[in-house]
Amino acid sequence: MTTIGTATAHDGIQLATYTWLPDSGRPRALVQIAHGAAEHAQRYERFAGHLVRHGYGVIASDHRGHGATATGTGGFGVVGGGEEGDSWRAMVDDLRTVGDQARALHPGVPVVLLGHSLGAMLARDYAQEYPDELAGVILSGVFRSLPGTDLQAAQARLEEEVAERGRSAVSGFIPERFASFNDAFDRRTGYEWLSRDEAEVDVYAADERCGFAFSAGLALDWVRGIRKLNDPKNIARIPADLPFHLAVGTEDPCNQGLTLLYELTEDLRYAGIEDVTWKVYEGARHEILNEVNRDEVQEDLTAWLDKHV
């Protein structure tokens, strides 16, 4: 059963939160989920149910401009915060706010942060800023940088859009990225790159809370955030004993034939992180938790949790 609540961000934004807990009492650990771009946290309810059945608690929240949180930030893809805001830093801090609230309710219970796609990047940033609060990090559908994107050129374009039309103006930047991800697949909905499971793709395509464009400000902050979290001096801030697990599909266009996965694992290892593991799922696309082999993925992630907490 999902418990729906809120957490108050540092600037007063009400963050929509979702909690799933085992009936047996104290959870073995809390898994905090950071969802991806242009989706929402309730899409992870099935996986949360699986974890609860194995004794884990799960907490999740909708990012700014996403899900139920979007009503307080200006709508889907809009993050508010004025013309000088930094929504990327705010989203990382939002995850900490939600995690702190859960830690206060469950003192002494370890927390593992699981991020998917954009959420995996937020999780990497969190591990650079607040590593002592985590027992481990799981990255799903992860890629080191935006595939096929010159970040410097993208930043210049988005800065120009913000200067001309403001941070809240809708940008074509994210829809263009999504469209390019689908190039390798027969187009039926435009979201075939997410999963081989057509039913899951149809649910995504029909959900008004999914697939929306980002404002220029949110897209710009994401690009700037990527440049920050890939800086070697920031990666070096991650403690050597914080375990990482990366899980991706071989047909996920976001990792460019696994190139952006290998580059990220090398970054982590070069920084001295001692426990870096990964699992590659043959034939799977971007959303491995919504793939045809999702049962296998769920069991693998649970086994990693069992080993590390």
pLDDT one-digit tens code per residue, 207-236: 999 999 999 999 999 999 999 999 999 999
Q: Which pLDDT belongs to residue 216?
A: 96
Query: What are the tens digits of pLDDT across the range 102-113?
Result: 999 999 999 999
Decide which of 148 and 91 is more confident: 91
Stated pTM of the model: 0.97
What residues contact 176, with CB distance under 8 A and at least 6 apart?
none
Mean pLDDT of 21-29: 92
CA atoms of 91 and 63, how far apart (whole Å): 6
The full set of domains in the chain, from first to last, is: 3-308 (3.40.50.1820)
Q: Which pLDDT belongs to residue 85?
A: 72
Question: Please, which pLDDT band fits residue 1 given cuts at 50, 70 and 90?
Answer: confident
CA atoms of 290 and 135, how far apart (whole Å): 25
Q: Which pLDDT belongs to residue 25?
A: 80
Chain-wide mean pLDDT for the chain? 96
Segments of the chain assigned E as strands: 3-8, 14-20, 30-34, 57-61, 111-116, 136-140, 244-249, 276-281
Mean pLDDT of 201-211: 98
89 has pLDDT over 80: yes
Q: Which two tokens stand for residue 191?
A: 């979201």
CA atoms of 264 and 258, how far apart (whole Å): 10
Other CB atoms within 10 A of residue 227 CB: 14
3-state secondary structure of 297: helix
